[in-house]
Amino acid sequence: MHDPGFETLIYEKLGTSAEIRFNRPHRLNAVVEQFYRELIDALRQAEAEPDVRAVLLTGEGRAFCVGADMKEHSSGGRSESQRREYLQLANDACKTIICLSKPVVAAIHGYALGAGAEIACSCDFVLIAESARIGFPEVSIGTCVGGGVSQILPRLVGLAKARELIYTGIRIDGVEAARIGLALRAVADDQLQDAAIDFINELASKAPISMRLVKKLLNDASATDLDSQLANELDGVLTCTTTGDWQEGVDAFAEKREPRFKGH
C-alpha cells in the first residue's frame, strides 16, 4: 500500500517489509532538507508498524541518490545556522537507519554518491547493480564526509581502502564494491529489484525480537569490551527465551517445518 503523505519519497508496504523509494528522479534523487525530514519520518513509521519487519531503500528513476542537490546549495541563501541544521538532519537520517530495530537494505542502481553513499553505508546491507557507481566525492569538491562514514567505512573495507575511497573520491562499480566488502553482493542490473525483494523477504521471515537484539549487538560490538559483550549476549539469549517466538522456533525445529514468528 502506497502512503501518499510524502513528496520526496514513496513509502510502500510489501507484505512484512516496507520499501522507501527516493522520489526526486528529475534531480537523480539528490537530497534536500525536505528529503531528510521525510526519510526520518518514513523510517520512524516503519519502526512503529509491528507488521513491518525489514526496510528496503531504493531510488526512483536512473539513480539511487547522487548526493546533495548542488543547485540548491549554490543558491547561497542559507545562514550558518541553517547550514548546520541541514547537516544535522543528514546525520540524523543516517543515525536513524543505523539505530532502527529492523534490518535496512539499500538496493543501488545508477549512482550512489556523497550523501547517497553515506545513506547506503548506514544500512545493514547493500545490494548493488553491477554497472552502478558508488563514491565519496566530498574531498574533491571541498567538503567533508558525514553520516558516520569515517567510522563505518573502515569497518566494512579496512582503513587503507577507506582512505583511498575518501581521499581520492574515486567511483567504483558494483562488482568492485562487492569485492571489497562495501556491498554484500553485486547483481546483474536487470535482476537487482527481484534480488532485493527476495533478500528483504528472507530477513523479514526471521524472529523480529531476535533480529532487534543481534542488530544492536553487532552495532555496539566495536565499542564494547569482551566481558561486557558476552554479558550482553547472555541477556539477549535470556530475553529470547521469554518470547513466544522462541517456543515457536523450538517447535518448528522439532516438527521439521518453517517457523511462523509473530514478534512476541
Model confidence over 179-199: pLDDT tens digits?
999 999 999 999 999 999 999
pLDDT value, residue 134: 98
pLDDT value, residue 83: 84
Low-confidence ranges of the chain (pLDDT < 70): 1-3, 72-78
pLDDT value, residue 184: 98
Catalytic choice (19, 38, 130, 138): 138
Give the tens place of pLDDT for each residue, 196-210.
Answer: 999 999 999 999 999
Q: Identify residue 238 by its one-letter amino acid code.
A: L
pLDDT value, residue 81: 82
Catalytic choice (33, 118, 233, 248): 118
pLDDT value, residue 164: 98
As assigned by CATH, the class of the 2-204 domain is: alpha beta
Give dist(CA 104, CA 56) in Å, integer. 6
- Nearest Cα to Cα of residue 173 among 126, 118, 129, 115: 129
Q: CB of 145 within 8 A of CB of 154?
A: no
Give dist(CA 108, CA 174) in Å, integer. 9
Supply the pTM of this predicted model: 0.94
pLDDT value, residue 77: 65
Is 138 annotated in the active site? yes
pLDDT value, residue 69: 84
Strands 133-135 and 111-113: parallel
Give dist(CA 75, CA 85) in Å, integer. 17
Is 118 annotated in the active site? yes
